[in-house]
């Protein structure tokens, strides 16, 4: 009984301490915008050396939605993240958790309590970046590809590259082989100003597009092939996650997951 009372005494003190310190913290935090907070974290993470083994453990959470392969879902609800450039993955994770990019579904899983700190971001980003990509991603109808190729060449090459391969130092996303419906969703969110972390120059570049031009260029983009050494075989399954039960398959019960990743 006495020990419990003592415990509460300490707790009381801790609360008083927190009450004194919190206003100071929130004051200084409110000075930085979500974009600034994300940028600081991006730079911190980029300076770290990634540990792939730990990245695999951290990825257990992500696999639930992005699938063990990181291939997402071809109908585009979940993007393919496998093979995305490391700097882009890090930027998106930092942006999402600083609320510089809205992602209500994923937001809780990006928080330090679940995802961990800068080192875990570095590790999981490196793990995802080295995963082979889906050779059978969701594509468009394929009916207007000549126009798509022209629109792509005139408007996208200078930033996303002639093969949609992106740019690592500039954290410019690779968009080749992404699911068609996901491309549409992001393109329209960027155009309409709903994606906070979008590039103002890209918004400028695409604002005059007709619906036909938009569909054509995104269909073309979904069919751009990542280089052969980046693609996995069709229906590849990630051997790191052998116990994963795929939706619709009458698999065995999940084995206990590996020990959780340490949280710095």
| 106, 129, 131, 231: residue in contact with ligand HEC (rule CB under 6 A) | 106
* CA separation, residue 115 to residues 59, 118, 120 (Å): 9, 9, 7
Which residue's CB is nearer to ligand HEC, number 9 or number 106?
A: 106
| 82, 89, 122, 224: residue in contact with ligand HEC (rule CB under 6 A) | 89
By CB under 6 A, is residue 183 in contact with ligand HEC? yes
Which backbone phi and psi does 126 adopt, to 5 degrees?
-65, -40
Closest by Cα among 135, 136, 116 to 60: 116
| Binding string, residues 192-231; x marks residues near ligand HEC by CB under 6 A | -----xxx-xx--xx----------x---x----------
By CB under 6 A, is residue 261 in contact with ligand HEC? no
Which residue's CB is nearer to ligand HEC, number 186 or number 238?
A: 186
The DSSP bridge partners found for residue 226 are none
What's the token pair of residue 255? 């084995």
Q: Torsion angle of alpha carbons 157, 160, 161, 163, nearest 10°?
A: -100
* CA separation, residue 103 to residues 24, 93, 100 (Å): 29, 10, 9
Total of residues contacting ligand HEC (CB under 6 A): 41
Residues 57-86 that bind ligand HEC (CB under 6 A): 61-62, 64-66, 78-79, 81, 84
Least distance from C-beta 197 to ligand HEC, angstroms? 4
Least distance from C-beta 43 to ligand HEC, angstroms? 14
Which residue's CB is nearer to ligand HEC, number 15 or number 107?
A: 107
Instruction: Give DSSP secondary structure letters for 60-104.
Output: HHHHHHH-TTS---TTSSS---TT--HHHHHHHHHHHHTTSS--T
The DSSP bridge partners found for residue 133 are 231
Interacting residues with ligand HEC (CB under 6 A): 61-62, 64-66, 78-79, 81, 84, 89, 91-93, 103, 105-106, 109, 115, 124, 128, 155-156, 158-160, 172-173, 175, 183, 185-187, 197-199, 201-202, 205-206, 217, 221
């Amino acid at each position: 009984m006495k020990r419990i009372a003592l415990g509460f005494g300490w707790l009381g003190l801790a609360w008083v301490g927190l009450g004194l310190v919190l206003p100071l913290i929130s004051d200084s935090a409110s000075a930085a915008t979500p974009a600034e907070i994300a940028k600081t974290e991006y730079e911190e993470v980029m300076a770290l050396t990634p540990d792939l083994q730990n990245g695999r453990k951290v990825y257990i959470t992500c696999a639930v939605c992005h699938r063990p392969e990181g291939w997402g879902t071809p109908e585009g609800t979940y993007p393919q993240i496998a093979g995305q450039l490391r700097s882009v993955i890090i930027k998106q994770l930092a942006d999402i958790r600083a609320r510089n990019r809205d992602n209500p579904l994923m937001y809780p899983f990006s928080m330090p309590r679940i995802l961990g700190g800068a080192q875990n971001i570095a590790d999981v980003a490196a793990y995802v970046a080295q995963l082979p990509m889906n050779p059978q991603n969701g594509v468009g109808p394929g009916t207007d590809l000549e126009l798509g190729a022209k629109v792509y060449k005139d408007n996208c090459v200078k930033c996303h590259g002639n093969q949609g391969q992106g740019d690592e130092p500039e954290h410019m996303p690779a968009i080749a082989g992404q699911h068609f419906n996901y491309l549409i969703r992001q393109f329209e969110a960027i155009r309409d100003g709903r994606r906070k972390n979008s590039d103002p120059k890209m918004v400028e570049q695409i604002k005059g597009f007709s619906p036909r031009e938009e569909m054509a260029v995104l269909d073309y983009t979904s069919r751009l092939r990542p280089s052969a050494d980046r693609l996995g075989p069709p229906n590849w399954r990630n051997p790191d996650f052998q116990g994963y039960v795929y939706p619709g398959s009458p698999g065995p019960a999940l084995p206990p997951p590996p020990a959780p990743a340490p949280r710095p």
